Amino acid sequence: MELYTYEELKDFVDRCVRCPLSQTRNHPVMGRGNLKSPILFIAEGPGRTEDQSGIPFTGRSGQVFDRLLSGIQMSREDVYITNIVKCHPPGNRDPLPAEQEACMPYLKYETLLLRPKIIVCLGRIAAQRIIRPDYRITKEHGTFICRKNVYLTSVYHPSAILRDERKFPEAQDDFFAIKKWLSENA
Ligand code: URA
């Protein structure tokens, strides 16, 4: 299978017209971070702030994400973060299955580039796409499975924490478990 560099992939994403989200976006949002990181975070899709900046998690949910990372003594420079769909779904709706499908090749190539040891899904949409279609985030967040030698887990989406700050301690516990996993395995 052919591999692409980060710059090549970003260029594809910047010019992408594979689905109708390309007609309403301001900026496509390519994943970003440390290409040598053992940890790949996958969220669902850019919000309004990210649509303006072209950078993942630059809005309020990004601040929550940064708090969770700093709780385990990590920062954006230590991780790579991307989304299932690279363009903002209008009105912040869930990305449609066809939009997710159209965007999957980019995620596949990002994964091939990174070769992560662990993939952390942020929220239900990513977990149902990456782990299992009937994944129940409220029940299963923080649990680990291994597939093709890559560990998969999920945590609450930062925007779910913004809606209900009581979810923060649970999410932080899941981050502690990820940190422990990394210290033992990466
Ligand atoms: N929410 C997401 O799912 N992704 C982002 O990049 C920002 C907010």
Mean pLDDT of 15-44: 98
**Model-level pTM?**
0.98
Which tokens hold the place of 13?
């994403």
Amino acid 101: pLDDT: 98
Mean per-residue pLDDT over the chain, rounded: 97
Report CA(42)–ligand 1 centroid distance (Å). Answer: 9
What's the confidence (pLDDT) of residue 186?
84
DSSP state of 150: E
Give residue 56's pLDDT band: very low, low, confident or very high (50, 70, 90).
Answer: very high
Which candidate, 32, 44, 30, 56, places its Cα nearest to that of 126? Answer: 44
Six token digits for residue 56: 């993942």
pLDDT band at 11 (very low <50, low <70, confident <90, very high): very high
pLDDT by residue (tens digit) across 135-156? 999 999 999 999 999 999 999 9
At 2, the pLDDT band (50, 70, 90 cuts) reads confident
Query: Counting atoms of ligand 1 from 1, which one is nearest the CA of 157?
Result: 3
Q: What number of residues does the chain have?
A: 186
In the sheet where 80-83 sits, what is the strand order?
A: 32-33, 80-83, 39-43, 118-122, 150-155, 145-147
Q: Which residues contact 53 (CB under 8 A, 6 or more apart)?
A: 27
Given the CA of residue 29, which atom of ligand 1 is nearest to it? 6
Distance of CA 73 to the CA centre of its chain: 19
Q: In angstroms, what is the span from residue 167 Cα to ligand 1's centroid?
A: 17
| CA–CA dist 171, 182 (Å, integer) | 17
Q: What is the pLDDT of residues 95-145, one digit of tens each?
A: 999 999 999 999 999 999 999 999 999 999 999 999 999 999 999 999 999
Residues with CB under 6 A from ligand 1: 43-47, 50, 56-57, 61, 83, 159
Choose one of 83, 85, 155, 163 to mutate for the ligand 1 pocket test, by most ligand atoms within 8 angstroms of C-beta. Answer: 83
